[in-house]
Protein backbone atom coordinates (compact mmCIF):
# COMPACT_ATOMS: atom_id res chain seq x y z
CA UNK A 1 0.00 0.00 0.00
CA UNK A 2 1.28 3.45 -0.91
CA UNK A 3 2.23 5.87 1.85
CA UNK A 4 -0.39 8.47 2.64
CA UNK A 5 0.30 12.16 3.04
CA UNK A 6 -1.53 15.18 4.39
CA UNK A 7 -1.46 18.69 2.94
CA UNK A 8 -2.55 21.44 5.32
CA UNK A 9 -3.77 23.94 2.72
CA UNK A 10 -4.81 27.54 3.28
CA UNK A 11 -7.73 28.31 0.95
CA UNK A 12 -7.57 32.06 1.50
CA UNK A 13 -10.24 34.33 2.98
CA UNK A 14 -13.22 33.60 0.71
CA UNK A 15 -12.55 34.71 -2.86
CA UNK A 16 -11.67 31.38 -4.54
CA UNK A 17 -9.18 33.16 -6.79
CA UNK A 18 -6.95 33.83 -3.78
CA UNK A 19 -5.89 30.23 -3.25
CA UNK A 20 -2.21 29.69 -4.12
CA UNK A 21 -1.05 27.76 -7.17
CA UNK A 22 0.45 25.10 -4.91
CA UNK A 23 -2.75 24.90 -2.88
CA UNK A 24 -4.75 24.34 -6.04
CA UNK A 25 -2.33 21.67 -7.26
CA UNK A 26 -2.65 19.88 -3.92
CA UNK A 27 -6.45 20.04 -4.09
CA UNK A 28 -6.57 18.57 -7.59
CA UNK A 29 -4.59 15.47 -6.58
CA UNK A 30 -6.42 14.80 -3.32
CA UNK A 31 -8.11 11.47 -2.61
CA UNK A 32 -9.80 13.01 0.42
CA UNK A 33 -10.72 16.66 1.10
CA UNK A 34 -11.51 17.57 4.70
CA UNK A 35 -12.85 21.09 4.59
CA UNK A 36 -14.05 23.91 6.82
CA UNK A 37 -17.06 26.18 6.91
CA UNK A 38 -17.20 29.35 4.77
CA UNK A 39 -15.22 27.88 1.87
CA UNK A 40 -16.46 28.77 -1.60
CA UNK A 41 -18.00 25.71 -3.28
CA UNK A 42 -16.22 26.61 -6.52
CA UNK A 43 -12.98 25.55 -4.83
CA UNK A 44 -14.42 22.15 -3.94
CA UNK A 45 -15.54 21.71 -7.53
CA UNK A 46 -11.88 21.91 -8.60
CA UNK A 47 -11.06 18.71 -6.75
CA UNK A 48 -11.26 15.36 -8.50
CA UNK A 49 -14.86 14.18 -8.92
CA UNK A 50 -13.79 10.93 -7.26
CA UNK A 51 -12.37 12.64 -4.17
CA UNK A 52 -14.10 11.91 -0.87
CA UNK A 53 -15.50 15.15 0.62
CA UNK A 54 -15.75 15.42 4.41
CA UNK A 55 -17.21 18.55 6.00
CA UNK A 56 -15.90 19.41 9.47
CA UNK A 57 -17.06 23.02 9.70
CA UNK A 58 -17.72 24.82 12.94
CA UNK A 59 -20.34 27.42 13.77
CA UNK A 60 -20.64 29.28 17.05
CA UNK A 61 -21.88 26.77 19.59
CA UNK A 62 -22.03 23.91 17.11
CA UNK A 63 -19.11 21.83 15.85
CA UNK A 64 -19.63 19.14 13.23
CA UNK A 65 -16.66 17.33 14.73
CA UNK A 66 -14.56 18.26 17.79
CA UNK A 67 -10.95 19.16 16.96
CA UNK A 68 -9.68 15.92 18.45
CA UNK A 69 -11.85 13.95 16.02
CA UNK A 70 -10.64 16.05 13.08
CA UNK A 71 -7.05 15.30 14.09
CA UNK A 72 -7.80 11.58 14.28
CA UNK A 73 -9.57 11.66 10.91
CA UNK A 74 -6.45 13.11 9.26
CA UNK A 75 -4.34 10.31 10.73
CA UNK A 76 -6.78 7.54 9.77
CA UNK A 77 -7.17 8.65 6.15
CA UNK A 78 -3.42 9.05 5.68
CA UNK A 79 -2.79 5.59 7.17
CA UNK A 80 -5.14 4.23 4.48
CA UNK A 81 -2.52 5.37 1.96
CA UNK A 82 -4.55 8.33 0.75
CA UNK A 83 -3.51 11.84 -0.25
CA UNK A 84 -5.43 14.06 2.14
CA UNK A 85 -6.02 17.79 1.79
CA UNK A 86 -7.08 19.58 4.95
CA UNK A 87 -8.62 22.67 3.35
CA UNK A 88 -8.79 25.55 5.80
CA UNK A 89 -9.97 29.12 5.46
CA UNK A 90 -7.29 31.79 5.42
CA UNK A 91 -3.89 30.48 6.51
CA UNK A 92 -3.57 27.20 8.45
CA UNK A 93 -1.21 28.69 11.02
CA UNK A 94 -2.97 32.05 11.64
CA UNK A 95 -5.59 31.37 14.30
CA UNK A 96 -6.56 28.29 12.33
CA UNK A 97 -5.47 25.42 14.60
CA UNK A 98 -3.27 24.13 11.80
CA UNK A 99 -0.38 23.93 14.23
CA UNK A 100 -2.31 21.50 16.42
CA UNK A 101 -3.14 19.32 13.43
CA UNK A 102 0.49 19.33 12.31
CA UNK A 103 1.61 18.28 15.80
CA UNK A 104 -0.69 15.26 15.75
CA UNK A 105 0.53 14.25 12.29
CA UNK A 106 4.15 14.54 13.42
CA UNK A 107 3.45 12.48 16.53
CA UNK A 108 1.97 9.72 14.35
CA UNK A 109 4.83 9.85 11.81
CA UNK A 110 2.44 10.96 9.03
CA UNK A 111 4.22 12.86 6.22
CA UNK A 112 2.70 16.30 5.77
CA UNK A 113 3.22 19.64 4.05
CA UNK A 114 1.93 23.06 4.98
CA UNK A 115 0.70 25.16 2.07
CA UNK A 116 0.27 28.71 3.41
CA UNK A 117 -2.80 30.70 2.48
CA UNK A 118 -3.60 34.40 2.34
CA UNK A 119 -4.86 35.25 5.79
CA UNK A 120 -8.07 37.22 6.14
CA UNK A 121 -6.18 39.51 8.50
CA UNK A 122 -4.59 41.30 5.53
CA UNK A 123 -6.83 40.30 2.61
CA UNK A 124 -10.17 41.41 4.01
CA UNK A 125 -8.97 44.91 4.96
CA UNK A 126 -7.32 45.18 1.52
CA UNK A 127 -10.61 44.31 -0.22
CA UNK A 128 -12.27 47.02 1.91
CA UNK A 129 -9.68 49.58 0.76
CA UNK A 130 -7.77 49.53 4.05
CA UNK A 131 -4.01 48.80 4.00
CA UNK A 132 -2.93 47.45 7.38
CA UNK A 133 0.27 49.50 7.08
CA UNK A 134 0.84 52.75 5.23
CA UNK A 135 3.80 55.09 5.13
CA UNK A 136 3.31 57.95 7.55
CA UNK A 137 0.20 56.40 9.04
CA UNK A 138 0.99 52.92 10.38
CA UNK A 139 4.24 50.97 10.49
CA UNK A 140 3.03 48.02 12.58
CA UNK A 141 0.01 45.77 12.84
CA UNK A 142 -1.10 42.94 15.08
CA UNK A 143 -3.49 40.06 14.48
CA UNK A 144 -5.51 39.12 17.54
CA UNK A 145 -8.16 36.54 18.19
CA UNK A 146 -11.47 38.14 19.06
CA UNK A 147 -12.74 34.89 20.48
CA UNK A 148 -10.48 33.29 23.08
CA UNK A 149 -10.98 29.80 24.44
CA UNK A 150 -13.88 30.19 26.90
CA UNK A 151 -12.28 27.57 29.12
CA UNK A 152 -9.33 29.85 29.96
CA UNK A 153 -9.25 31.37 33.44
CA UNK A 154 -8.08 34.74 32.15
CA UNK A 155 -7.29 36.47 28.86
CA UNK A 156 -3.84 35.91 27.36
CA UNK A 157 -4.09 39.24 25.52
CA UNK A 158 -1.98 41.96 27.09
CA UNK A 159 -4.53 44.73 26.56
CA UNK A 160 -2.42 47.39 28.28
CA UNK A 161 0.45 47.03 25.81
CA UNK A 162 -1.69 46.16 22.81
CA UNK A 163 -4.03 49.16 23.06
CA UNK A 164 -1.36 51.77 22.33
CA UNK A 165 1.70 49.72 21.35
CA UNK A 166 0.62 48.76 17.80
CA UNK A 167 -0.63 51.06 15.05
CA UNK A 168 -3.19 48.77 13.41
CA UNK A 169 -5.13 46.09 15.26
CA UNK A 170 -6.93 43.34 13.35
CA UNK A 171 -9.31 41.15 15.36
CA UNK A 172 -10.45 37.88 13.80
CA UNK A 173 -13.67 36.19 14.93
CA UNK A 174 -14.43 39.16 17.17
CA UNK A 175 -17.80 40.54 16.01
CA UNK A 176 -19.69 38.86 18.84
CA UNK A 177 -17.30 40.42 21.38
CA UNK A 178 -17.07 43.86 19.73
CA UNK A 179 -18.37 45.70 22.79
CA UNK A 180 -15.79 44.03 25.07
CA UNK A 181 -12.94 44.71 22.62
CA UNK A 182 -13.89 48.39 22.34
CA UNK A 183 -14.15 48.77 26.11
CA UNK A 184 -10.73 47.20 26.72
CA UNK A 185 -9.00 49.36 24.11
CA UNK A 186 -10.49 52.59 25.47
CA UNK A 187 -9.79 51.50 29.06
CA UNK A 188 -6.10 51.06 28.28
CA UNK A 189 -5.57 54.32 26.44
CA UNK A 190 -6.75 54.08 22.83
CA UNK A 191 -8.62 57.34 22.03
CA UNK A 192 -12.37 56.92 21.55
CA UNK A 193 -12.19 58.74 18.18
CA UNK A 194 -9.84 56.07 16.73
CA UNK A 195 -11.33 54.89 13.40
CA UNK A 196 -12.76 51.36 13.28
CA UNK A 197 -14.05 49.22 10.43
CA UNK A 198 -16.09 46.06 10.82
CA UNK A 199 -16.08 43.96 7.64
CA UNK A 200 -18.47 41.07 7.07
CA UNK A 201 -18.10 38.41 4.32
CA UNK A 202 -14.77 39.92 3.31
CA UNK A 203 -13.48 39.29 -0.26
CA UNK A 204 -16.91 37.91 -1.26
CA UNK A 205 -19.56 39.62 -3.39
CA UNK A 206 -21.68 39.97 -0.23
CA UNK A 207 -18.94 41.99 1.51
CA UNK A 208 -20.32 44.71 3.76
CA UNK A 209 -18.30 47.30 5.68
CA UNK A 210 -19.39 49.54 8.54
CA UNK A 211 -17.02 52.35 9.54
CA UNK A 212 -17.08 54.35 12.74
CA UNK A 213 -14.93 55.06 15.77
CA UNK A 214 -14.28 53.25 19.02
CA UNK A 215 -16.87 55.55 20.53
CA UNK A 216 -19.74 54.71 18.19
CA UNK A 217 -18.91 51.52 16.26
CA UNK A 218 -20.98 49.24 18.51
CA UNK A 219 -24.12 51.30 17.88
CA UNK A 220 -23.41 51.54 14.14
CA UNK A 221 -22.93 47.80 13.75
CA UNK A 222 -26.20 47.25 15.58
CA UNK A 223 -28.00 49.78 13.34
CA UNK A 224 -26.70 48.01 10.22
CA UNK A 225 -27.68 44.58 11.61
CA UNK A 226 -24.17 43.31 10.89
CA UNK A 227 -23.92 39.75 12.15
CA UNK A 228 -20.86 37.50 12.64
CA UNK A 229 -18.58 36.40 11.13
CA UNK A 230 -16.74 39.66 10.66
CA UNK A 231 -13.28 41.18 11.01
CA UNK A 232 -12.53 44.27 13.08
CA UNK A 233 -9.83 46.75 12.01
CA UNK A 234 -8.76 49.46 14.45
CA UNK A 235 -6.40 52.30 13.52
CA UNK A 236 -5.82 55.43 11.47
CA UNK A 237 -5.45 53.37 8.28
CA UNK A 238 -9.25 52.99 8.26
CA UNK A 239 -9.48 56.63 7.11
CA UNK A 240 -7.85 55.60 3.82
CA UNK A 241 -10.94 53.60 2.84
CA UNK A 242 -12.66 56.72 1.44
CA UNK A 243 -9.85 57.08 -1.11
CA UNK A 244 -8.84 53.45 -1.68
CA UNK A 245 -12.21 51.69 -1.72
CA UNK A 246 -12.24 49.55 -4.88
CA UNK A 247 -13.91 46.17 -4.34
CA UNK A 248 -17.38 47.47 -3.54
CA UNK A 249 -17.13 50.23 -6.16
CA UNK A 250 -17.29 47.78 -9.08
CA UNK A 251 -20.25 48.18 -11.45
CA UNK A 252 -22.22 45.07 -10.45
CA UNK A 253 -21.17 44.88 -6.81
CA UNK A 254 -23.63 43.05 -4.61
CA UNK A 255 -25.97 41.99 -7.42
CA UNK A 256 -27.12 38.38 -7.23
CA UNK A 257 -27.35 37.15 -10.79
CA UNK A 258 -28.88 33.83 -11.75
CA UNK A 259 -26.79 32.15 -14.44
CA UNK A 260 -29.00 29.86 -16.51
CA UNK A 261 -26.68 28.01 -18.82
CA UNK A 262 -25.70 24.40 -19.36
CA UNK A 263 -23.49 23.07 -16.58
CA UNK A 264 -20.21 23.04 -18.47
CA UNK A 265 -20.74 26.58 -19.84
CA UNK A 266 -21.31 28.32 -16.54
CA UNK A 267 -17.76 29.35 -15.71
CA UNK A 268 -17.11 32.05 -18.35
CA UNK A 269 -20.22 34.07 -17.57
CA UNK A 270 -19.76 33.59 -13.83
CA UNK A 271 -16.15 34.69 -13.99
CA UNK A 272 -16.99 37.89 -15.88
CA UNK A 273 -19.80 38.69 -13.47
CA UNK A 274 -17.62 38.06 -10.42
CA UNK A 275 -14.87 40.30 -11.83
CA UNK A 276 -17.41 43.11 -11.92
CA UNK A 277 -18.54 42.57 -8.36
CA UNK A 278 -21.65 40.44 -8.84
CA UNK A 279 -22.45 37.22 -7.03
CA UNK A 280 -23.12 34.65 -9.75
CA UNK A 281 -25.63 32.02 -8.66
CA UNK A 282 -24.70 29.03 -10.80
CA UNK A 283 -28.00 27.26 -11.25
CA UNK A 284 -28.09 25.96 -14.82
CA UNK A 285 -31.50 25.37 -16.33
CA UNK A 286 -30.27 22.79 -18.85
CA UNK A 287 -27.86 19.91 -19.13
CA UNK A 288 -26.18 19.16 -22.45
CA UNK A 289 -26.13 15.47 -23.38
CA UNK A 290 -24.94 13.67 -26.51
CA UNK A 291 -27.63 12.19 -28.71
CA UNK A 292 -28.48 8.61 -27.83
CA UNK A 293 -28.36 7.44 -31.45
CA UNK A 294 -25.27 8.74 -33.28
CA UNK A 295 -25.72 6.77 -36.50
CA UNK A 296 -26.77 9.78 -38.60
CA UNK A 297 -23.88 11.84 -37.24
CA UNK A 298 -21.40 9.00 -37.83
CA UNK A 299 -22.60 8.67 -41.42
CA UNK A 300 -22.17 12.42 -41.99
CA UNK A 301 -18.63 12.31 -40.56
CA UNK A 302 -17.78 9.30 -42.73
CA UNK A 303 -18.90 11.26 -45.80
CA UNK A 304 -17.53 14.73 -45.01
CA UNK A 305 -16.06 14.97 -48.53
CA UNK A 306 -19.62 15.25 -49.85
CA UNK A 307 -20.00 18.65 -48.17
CA UNK A 308 -18.63 22.07 -49.04
CA UNK A 309 -19.37 23.72 -45.69
CA UNK A 310 -19.75 22.89 -41.99
CA UNK A 311 -21.45 25.64 -40.00
CA UNK A 312 -21.40 25.52 -36.20
CA UNK A 313 -24.08 27.52 -34.39
CA UNK A 314 -22.90 27.00 -30.79
CA UNK A 315 -19.91 25.91 -28.75
CA UNK A 316 -22.06 22.97 -27.62
CA UNK A 317 -22.22 21.81 -31.22
CA UNK A 318 -18.44 22.11 -31.56
CA UNK A 319 -17.81 20.13 -28.36
CA UNK A 320 -20.28 17.36 -29.26
CA UNK A 321 -18.99 17.08 -32.85
CA UNK A 322 -15.36 16.80 -31.67
CA UNK A 323 -16.26 14.24 -29.06
CA UNK A 324 -17.78 12.09 -31.80
CA UNK A 325 -14.67 12.59 -33.97
CA UNK A 326 -12.57 11.42 -31.03
CA UNK A 327 -14.78 8.37 -30.49
CA UNK A 328 -14.30 7.49 -34.15
CA UNK A 329 -10.52 7.94 -33.74
CA UNK A 330 -10.50 10.99 -36.02
CA UNK A 331 -9.43 14.60 -35.59
CA UNK A 332 -9.64 17.96 -37.37
CA UNK A 333 -7.83 16.55 -40.42
CA UNK A 334 -11.13 14.90 -41.35
CA UNK A 335 -12.43 18.40 -42.22
CA UNK A 336 -9.64 19.18 -44.68
CA UNK A 337 -10.91 21.06 -47.73
CA UNK A 338 -14.20 22.21 -46.16
CA UNK A 339 -15.24 25.79 -45.48
CA UNK A 340 -15.87 26.31 -41.75
CA UNK A 341 -18.50 28.73 -40.46
CA UNK A 342 -19.07 29.85 -36.86
CA UNK A 343 -22.03 31.86 -35.60
CA UNK A 344 -19.89 34.11 -33.40
CA UNK A 345 -16.49 34.67 -31.75
CA UNK A 346 -17.11 32.25 -28.86
CA UNK A 347 -17.89 29.43 -31.27
CA UNK A 348 -14.92 30.46 -33.44
CA UNK A 349 -12.69 30.31 -30.36
CA UNK A 350 -14.02 26.83 -29.53
CA UNK A 351 -12.91 25.78 -33.01
CA UNK A 352 -9.57 27.59 -32.72
CA UNK A 353 -8.57 25.71 -29.56
CA UNK A 354 -9.12 22.54 -31.56
CA UNK A 355 -6.79 23.73 -34.31
CA UNK A 356 -9.43 24.93 -36.79
CA UNK A 357 -9.63 28.50 -38.12
CA UNK A 358 -13.10 29.66 -39.10
CA UNK A 359 -13.45 30.80 -42.69
CA UNK A 360 -16.59 32.75 -41.95
CA UNK A 361 -17.93 34.53 -38.86
CA UNK A 362 -20.86 36.89 -39.51
CA UNK A 363 -20.83 40.51 -38.38
CA UNK A 364 -24.05 39.91 -36.47
CA UNK A 365 -23.96 36.76 -34.36
CA UNK A 366 -27.38 35.38 -35.22
CA UNK A 367 -28.98 33.05 -37.76
CA UNK A 368 -30.03 36.15 -39.69
CA UNK A 369 -26.42 37.34 -39.61
CA UNK A 370 -25.14 34.04 -41.00
CA UNK A 371 -27.64 34.11 -43.86
CA UNK A 372 -26.97 37.75 -44.65
CA UNK A 373 -23.26 37.06 -45.06
CA UNK A 374 -23.80 33.89 -47.06
CA UNK A 375 -26.02 35.88 -49.40
CA UNK A 376 -22.92 37.70 -50.65
CA UNK A 377 -21.17 34.43 -51.43
CA UNK A 378 -21.82 32.16 -54.38
CA UNK A 379 -23.12 29.12 -52.52
CA UNK A 380 -25.73 27.92 -55.04
CA UNK A 381 -25.48 24.16 -55.47
CA UNK A 382 -23.22 23.70 -52.45
CA UNK A 383 -23.91 21.30 -49.57
CA UNK A 384 -23.91 22.43 -45.92
CA UNK A 385 -23.58 20.26 -42.83
CA UNK A 386 -25.17 21.78 -39.72
CA UNK A 387 -24.24 19.96 -36.45
CA UNK A 388 -26.84 21.31 -34.01
CA UNK A 389 -29.17 20.61 -31.11
CA UNK A 390 -31.96 18.14 -31.72
CA UNK A 391 -34.64 20.81 -31.19
CA UNK A 392 -33.10 23.68 -33.18
CA UNK A 393 -35.51 25.77 -35.29
CA UNK A 394 -35.44 25.43 -39.08
CA UNK A 395 -34.75 29.08 -39.92
CA UNK A 396 -31.14 28.43 -40.95
CA UNK A 397 -32.03 25.38 -43.03
CA UNK A 398 -34.77 27.26 -44.87
CA UNK A 399 -32.54 30.26 -45.43
CA UNK A 400 -29.77 28.16 -46.98
CA UNK A 401 -32.31 26.49 -49.27
CA UNK A 402 -33.54 29.90 -50.43
CA UNK A 403 -29.95 30.76 -51.40
CA UNK A 404 -29.92 27.74 -53.70
CA UNK A 405 -27.82 25.46 -51.50
CA UNK A 406 -28.54 22.17 -49.74
CA UNK A 407 -28.54 21.93 -45.94
CA UNK A 408 -28.19 18.72 -43.96
CA UNK A 409 -29.07 19.26 -40.33
CA UNK A 410 -27.79 16.56 -37.96
CA UNK A 411 -28.42 16.37 -34.19
CA UNK A 412 -25.22 16.16 -32.17
CA UNK A 413 -26.62 16.97 -28.70
CA UNK A 414 -29.85 17.57 -26.89
CA UNK A 415 -30.83 19.65 -23.89
CA UNK A 416 -32.69 18.38 -20.84
CA UNK A 417 -33.87 20.24 -17.74
CA UNK A 418 -31.40 20.26 -14.83
CA UNK A 419 -34.10 19.46 -12.28
CA UNK A 420 -32.04 19.69 -9.10
CA UNK A 421 -30.64 23.11 -10.00
CA UNK A 422 -34.05 24.34 -11.11
CA UNK A 423 -35.52 23.43 -7.72
CA UNK A 424 -32.91 25.61 -6.01
CA UNK A 425 -33.56 28.44 -8.48
CA UNK A 426 -37.25 28.22 -7.62
CA UNK A 427 -36.54 28.52 -3.90
CA UNK A 428 -34.32 31.59 -4.35
CA UNK A 429 -36.74 33.31 -6.73
CA UNK A 430 -39.68 32.78 -4.39
CA UNK A 431 -37.58 34.18 -1.53
CA UNK A 432 -36.72 37.27 -3.63
CA UNK A 433 -32.99 36.53 -3.38
CA UNK A 434 -32.19 37.13 -7.07
CA UNK A 435 -31.58 40.56 -8.67
CA UNK A 436 -31.22 39.42 -12.30
CA UNK A 437 -32.13 36.30 -14.26
CA UNK A 438 -29.90 35.81 -17.30
CA UNK A 439 -31.00 33.81 -20.32
CA UNK A 440 -28.38 32.82 -22.90
CA UNK A 441 -30.58 30.73 -25.20
CA UNK A 442 -34.23 30.02 -25.92
CA UNK A 443 -33.89 26.59 -24.33
CA UNK A 444 -32.82 28.07 -20.98
CA UNK A 445 -36.04 30.11 -21.00
CA UNK A 446 -38.16 27.11 -21.98
CA UNK A 447 -36.66 24.76 -19.40
CA UNK A 448 -36.75 27.20 -16.50
CA UNK A 449 -40.35 28.19 -17.19
CA UNK A 450 -41.38 24.57 -17.76
CA UNK A 451 -39.95 23.62 -14.38
CA UNK A 452 -42.70 25.65 -12.73
CA UNK A 453 -45.33 23.70 -14.69
CA UNK A 454 -48.63 25.57 -14.35
CA UNK A 455 -47.23 28.15 -11.92
CA UNK A 456 -45.94 31.51 -13.16
CA UNK A 457 -42.20 32.06 -12.79
CA UNK A 458 -41.84 33.97 -9.47
CA UNK A 459 -39.71 36.79 -10.84
CA UNK A 460 -40.55 39.19 -7.97
CA UNK A 461 -38.19 42.15 -8.35
CA UNK A 462 -35.61 40.32 -10.50
CA UNK A 463 -34.73 41.86 -13.85
CA UNK A 464 -34.72 39.70 -17.00
CA UNK A 465 -31.57 39.85 -19.17
CA UNK A 466 -31.34 38.14 -22.57
CA UNK A 467 -28.33 37.52 -24.79
CA UNK A 468 -30.16 38.24 -28.04
CA UNK A 469 -33.49 38.89 -29.77
CA UNK A 470 -34.43 35.23 -30.29
CA UNK A 471 -33.94 34.55 -26.60
CA UNK A 472 -35.88 37.72 -25.78
CA UNK A 473 -38.77 36.55 -27.99
CA UNK A 474 -38.82 33.24 -26.11
CA UNK A 475 -38.89 35.12 -22.79
CA UNK A 476 -41.70 37.40 -23.96
CA UNK A 477 -43.75 34.44 -25.18
CA UNK A 478 -43.29 32.91 -21.74
CA UNK A 479 -44.89 35.98 -20.20
CA UNK A 480 -41.67 37.62 -19.00
CA UNK A 481 -40.83 41.30 -19.44
CA UNK A 482 -37.32 41.68 -20.81
CA UNK A 483 -35.45 44.50 -19.05
CA UNK A 484 -31.95 44.04 -20.49
CA UNK A 485 -30.99 42.99 -24.02
CA UNK A 486 -27.37 42.55 -25.11
CA UNK A 487 -26.36 44.72 -28.06
CA UNK A 488 -23.64 42.25 -29.02
CA UNK A 489 -24.92 38.70 -28.76
CA UNK A 490 -22.01 37.26 -26.82
CA UNK A 491 -21.37 36.57 -23.15
CA UNK A 492 -19.19 39.73 -22.82
CA UNK A 493 -21.95 41.62 -24.61
CA UNK A 494 -24.51 40.41 -22.07
CA UNK A 495 -22.28 41.41 -19.16
CA UNK A 496 -21.71 44.82 -20.77
CA UNK A 497 -25.47 45.33 -21.06
CA UNK A 498 -25.86 44.52 -17.36
CA UNK A 499 -23.16 47.07 -16.47
CA UNK A 500 -24.83 49.73 -18.60
CA UNK A 501 -28.26 49.05 -17.09
CA UNK A 502 -27.15 49.26 -13.48
CA UNK A 503 -24.80 52.14 -14.23
CA UNK A 504 -27.79 54.20 -15.33
CA UNK A 505 -29.58 53.34 -12.08
CA UNK A 506 -26.81 54.85 -9.97
Which class for 136: exposed (0-12), middle (13-18), buried (19 or more C-beta within 10 A)?
Answer: exposed
Known catalytic membership, residue 58: yes
CB-based contact 304:385 (threshold 8 Å): yes
Q: Which of 453, 449, 455 is nearest to 480 (CA)?
A: 449
Choice among 77, 88, 167, 173 that is catalytic? 173
Q: Is 235 left (phi over 0), alpha (psi -120 to 50) or beta?
A: left
Which class for 426: exposed (0-12), middle (13-18), buried (19 or more C-beta within 10 A)?
Answer: middle
CB-based contact 468:476 (threshold 8 Å): no
How far out from the chain centre does Cα 76 lie? 32
Q: How far is 402 from 385, CA to CA, in rounded Å?
A: 16
Angle at the Cα of 483 from the Cα atoms of 480 and 487, rounded to 5 degrees: 120
> How many Cα atoms are found within 13 Å in the side-chain-facing hemisphere of 22?
10
Known catalytic membership, residue 222: no
CB-based contact 350:318 (threshold 8 Å): yes
Task: Report the 10 Å Cβ neighbour count for 328.
Answer: 14
How far out from the chain centre does Cα 393 lie? 32
CB-based contact 323:297 (threshold 8 Å): no
CB-based contact 446:474 (threshold 8 Å): yes
Show Cβ contacts of residue 146 under 8 Å, excluding neighbours closer than 6 positions.
171, 172, 173, 174, 175, 176, 177, 178, 181, 232
Known catalytic membership, residue 173: yes
List residues bridging with 282 in a β-sheet: 259
Q: How far is 355 from 352, CA to CA, in rounded Å?
A: 5
Task: Give the helix ranges, DSSP H, for 328-410.
Answer: 345-352, 367-374, 395-402
Alpha-carbon distance values, 148 to 141, 162, 180, 319 (Å): 19, 16, 12, 54
Q: Is 225 left (phi over 0), alpha (psi -120 to 50) or beta?
A: left
Alpha-carbon distance values, 186 to 4, 12, 183, 190 (Å): 51, 32, 5, 5
Provide DSSP, 119-139.
-HHHHHHHHTT--S-BTTTBS
Catalytic residues: 36, 58, 173
Amino acid sequence: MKEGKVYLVGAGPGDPGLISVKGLESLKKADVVIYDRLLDERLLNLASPTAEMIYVGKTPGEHTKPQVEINQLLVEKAKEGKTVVRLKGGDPFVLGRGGEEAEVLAQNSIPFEVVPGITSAIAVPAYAGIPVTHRGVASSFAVITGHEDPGKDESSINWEKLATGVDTLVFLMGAKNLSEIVSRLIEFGRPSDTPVAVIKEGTRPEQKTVVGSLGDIVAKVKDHHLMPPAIIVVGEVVRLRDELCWFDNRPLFGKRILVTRSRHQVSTLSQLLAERGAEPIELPAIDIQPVADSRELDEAIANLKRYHWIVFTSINGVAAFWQRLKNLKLDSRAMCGLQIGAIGPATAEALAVRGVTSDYVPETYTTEGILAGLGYRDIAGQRFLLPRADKADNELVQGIHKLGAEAHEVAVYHTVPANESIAEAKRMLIAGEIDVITFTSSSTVTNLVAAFQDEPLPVNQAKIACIGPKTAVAATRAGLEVDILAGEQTIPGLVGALEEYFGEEM
